[in-house]
Amino acid sequence: MRRQFTVGILKEENERERRAPLTPADAAWLIERGIKVEVVSDPKRIFTDAQYRKTGATVVKKVNRADLLVGIKAPDPQNVIAGKIYMIFSHAIKGQKDNIHLLKEMIRKNVTLIDYEKIKDNRGKRIVYFGRYAGICGIVDSLHIYGKKMRSKKVPTPFTSLKPSWKYADLEDLKNGVSKTAELIDRKGINKKVSPFIIGIMGRGNVSSGVQEVLGLMNAVEIHPRDMKRFIKSKNHKNTEIYYIVFYREEKIRSKAGKKFYFEEYLEYPGKFESNMDKYLAQLNMLVNAGYWDKHYPRMITRRMIRDLYAQKGFRLELISDISCDIEGAVEITSKTTTQKKPSYTYEPVKDRYKDGCQKKGITIFAIDNLPTELPADSSAYFSDLIREYVYQIAAHGARNVTEHIALPREIRMATVVQDCSLTDEYKYLKEYII
């Protein structure tokens, strides 16, 4: 009979990370089902050691008996413990150079890596994610920064009434703050200098849903991209409303040859396509990047595009909220990530240079890369509920050969990136990065 695994909750190495992959309530849920839980003490974690002890979990200074190590962010490669099973976001599955050494170490140390990002259903949709909270926190922070920037330009807006997400006590408190701002917009309206206030959203996944959830609380009105210019010229818009556009693939991308867009062709021959966002960008007040991107696909916002459009009369874009945080990725002018203390920097297209903070001239960029930790208790509870059954299944079966153990859920087997000192079949494409 197989020995059941002890589950270990890792200490997060990032000093700004307060989330937990499993809450005390879900640690108790595992313990009630016969699974031992070991928690590595972490004073900055939103849940205290005492809360875990009350569940019957063992609190330790470092991993002791745990076999299945559950965390959020990737550990420093030198701290990886040989022979363990890790469930984390590795941020290496696109060959990201900053984290590829982690894969090398896991292969060398015979570690099994299960990456949350690759836990998907039969249609390829992600099942385990923090994206909703990234979207919620991202749009609130971005509107706050937009209000701050416009105030520096002597253009008052209701968005200065919003606080950054991390200053709210919890999700309910944040939603109350958003609703109060919505009431303010309804009473006083948005300054005519920035009206109609239009937010563009690239992406249709979980992050985008979080963004739209907040906009729904503000009674925002959705318009179609093809109607945008006509809508602005018609003067039918109201300064007591926020408008938003969700860009679909066929609106974001066009054929270089002027042919009709076919998604299947785009996937097979991405080099035949280019961004179509230059048709819309100048009319937006704010752009939110909430979509997936990798180097095989065209950038959606290029440096040249920004410089050309910025020189034209009537250019309205003040802020890009790059929630996806791919450096020089879909948004080429995203040159670095930002932090809660320094959440933004500004790109000046004319001089092709950057300055920290919200500057009057140029495009301000917001790019915090761990947004869900701004609501650590709520986002942890949401995430913990998504993974606890998977954690239980792995621990209960006590199987190290995850990919071959057919009793385990298919989505877990398919999300196993490293096993038995090598990349699994699904992830052999990463060989070119680890050689």
Kindly state the tokens that stand for 104: 């090398």
Number of H helices, E strands in the chain: 13, 18
pLDDT at residue 187 greater than cutoff 60: yes
Tell me what pLDDT residue 309 has.
97
Tell me what pLDDT residue 418 has.
96
- Mean local confidence (pLDDT), 162-180: 97
Tell me what pLDDT residue 228 has.
82
Rounded Cα gap, residues 201 and 157, in angstroms: 21
Q: Which of 59-73, 184-198, 233-247 has the lowest mean pLDDT?
A: 233-247
Rounded Cα gap, residues 262 and 273, in angstroms: 10
What size, in residues, is the chain?
Answer: 435
Beta strands in 136-228, from DSSP E residues, in sequence order: 197-202, 221-222
pLDDT in tens, 359-416: 999 999 999 989 999 999 999 999 999 999 999 999 999 988 999 999 999 999 999 9
Q: How many CA atoms lie within 13 A of 132 on its CB side?
A: 14
pLDDT in tens, 86-132: 999 998 888 787 788 999 999 999 999 999 999 999 999 999 999 99
Tell me what pLDDT residue 92 has.
86
Phi, psi of 39 (to 5 degrees): -115, 120
Q: Which domains are delineated in the chain? A: 7-128+376-434 (3.40.50.720), 131-367 (3.40.50.720)
Strand 422-423 vs strand 416-419: parallel, antiparallel, or unpaired? antiparallel
- Mean local confidence (pLDDT), 133-154: 97
pLDDT in tens, 284-306: 999 999 998 888 899 999 999 99
Tell me what pLDDT residue 176 has.
98
115 strand-pairing partners: 88
Nearest to 370 by CA among 165, 85, 216: 165
Residue position matching structure tokens 């196993």 = 416
Rounded Cα gap, residues 324 and 134, in angstroms: 9
Q: What stretch of H or E contains 419?
A: strand 416-419
Tell me what pLDDT residue 406 has.
92
Tell me what pLDDT residue 43 has.
96
3-state SS, residue 324 = coil
One-letter amino acid for residue 251 of the chain: E
pLDDT at residue 1 greater than cutoff 60: no
* pLDDT band for position 331 (cuts 50, 70, 90): very high
pLDDT in tens, 21-77: 999 999 999 999 999 999 999 999 999 999 999 999 999 999 999 999 999 999 999
Mean pLDDT for the chain overall: 94
Strand 242-247 vs strand 221-222: parallel, antiparallel, or unpaired? parallel
Rounded Cα gap, residues 349 and 363, in angstroms: 8
Share of the chain above pLDDT 90, in %: 87
